[in-house]
Amino acid sequence: MLNFAARRLLAAIPTLLVVTLLVFALVRLLPGDPARLQLGEEATPQALTELRHQMGLDRPVAVQYLQWLADLSHLNLGRSLQDHASVAGLIAQKLPTTFELSVLSLLIAVALALPAGIFSALRPGSVTDRLVTLLALSGISLPSFFLGILLVYLFSVQLAWIPASGYVDLSENPALNLKLMLLPAVTLGVGSGAVLTRFLRGSLLEVLSQDYVRTARAKGITGHFVVVKHALRNALIPVVTVLGLQLGGLLGGAVVTEQIFSVPGFGRLLVDAVFTRDLPVIQGMVLTSAALVLVVSFVVDLLYGMIDPRVRYA
């Protein structure tokens, strides 16, 4: 296990290096001048030159990149061009909100996918299976921003049950926090749950056709016990893989959903940074997202061994 963890950690280093290069290059391709955006259209050429010098944007691009790498080696993500705040501090402020939203949406997704996927797989071709398939495909096809607007219209405008937007920190008022996070979590959870349902149904159908499942049934083991004890556990490996990918994507910032519901999370910070061309913030956030995806991928690999003891970390 330790060797496996060490190998994954070493493999993550070149991956992150490639990410830094791509992020740095792509961010420099963004149109717009950060100095002009900050000073406005009426700024004099001298003022623009001075501000670009203060931002370090007048240095060669290669020098800027190497300086960024040198800062990263000291776990320093740099400072915002707008207010000189620490990029790491900004991310640390916003990430817990997005993490909470991601966990809530995945809980909703799993709560929807487990019963739907199992019932659908146990009765293939039935009315239940067709209904679940129709709903799952609808959930996959429906854009999250459209679902979010529909939920706001129904539960906030028509029924007035839940505020349309807003955010209260979990530590200040847990009940109100969960109430405000419910609609954005459902908006994200429905799509993820639909994807998980399809994967769970397909994986479970394949496992249920295996010889050892038929042997268990021939021995007189009841159907529910066969599914829970023998089939479901083996069918979960591809589902866990998809779940990890979904979590990695959500932690990277549910940009549109956070904008719709005014959730001050990772995604909103990224949008604000892009609009103001705050290059260090954009670079730091994308790099953090990539690191989070690698961490989630590593945890998923560890879960394989817990779900199926036959999996070995060679």
Give the list of residues 6+ apart from residue 263 with CB closer than 8 angstroms, or none. Answer: 97, 98, 101, 165, 167, 181, 184, 257
Residue 53 has a pLDDT of 85
Token pair for residue 286?
């994308």
Cα separations in angstroms, 266 against 57, 143, 213, 263: 25, 20, 45, 9
Cα angle 141-143-145, degrees, rounded to a multiple of 5? 165
Burial (CB count <10 Å: 0-12, 13-18, 19+), residue 147: buried
pLDDT at 185 (0 to 100)? 93
d(CA 51, CA 288) in angstroms, rounded, equals: 27
- Residue 169, CA distances (Å) to 11, 33, 187, 251 in order: 37, 35, 20, 18
Lowest mean pLDDT among 18-27, 50-59, 240-249: 240-249
pLDDT of residue 66: 92
The span from the CA of 106 to the CA of 103, in Å, is 5
Instruction: Report the 10 Å Cβ neighbour count for 122.
Output: 18
Q: Which of 2-11, 56-65, 105-114 has the highest mean pLDDT?
A: 105-114
| Model pLDDT for residues 66-95, shown as the tens digit of each residue | 998 998 888 888 888 888 889 999 999 988
Instruction: Find the largest Cα–Cα distance for the chain.
Output: 86
The arithmetic mean of pLDDT across residues 270-296, rounded, is 87
Whole-number Å distance between alpha carbons of 237 and 272: 38
SS3 assignment, position 264: coil
The C-alpha atoms of residue 153 and residue 150 are separated, in whole angstroms, by 5
Q: Which residue has the higher pLDDT, 31 or 200?
A: 200
pLDDT at 10: 82
For 83, phi then psi, to 5°, come to -125, 5
Rounded Cα distance between 177 and 204, Å, is 36
> What was the pLDDT predicted at 108?
94
The rounded distance, in Å, linking the Cα atoms of 295 and 99 is 14
pTM of the shown model: 0.81
Mean pLDDT over 42-65 rounds to 85
Give the Cα separation of 204 and 226 in Å (integer): 12
In this prediction, residue 309 carries a pLDDT of 66
Question: Helix 279-307 vs helix 87-122: angle between axes, to the nearest 10 degrees?
Answer: 40
Average pLDDT, the chain: 85
The DSSP string of 24-87 is: HHHHHTSSS-HHHHHH-TT--HHHHHHHHHHHTTTS-HHHHHHHHHHHHHTT---B-TTT--BH
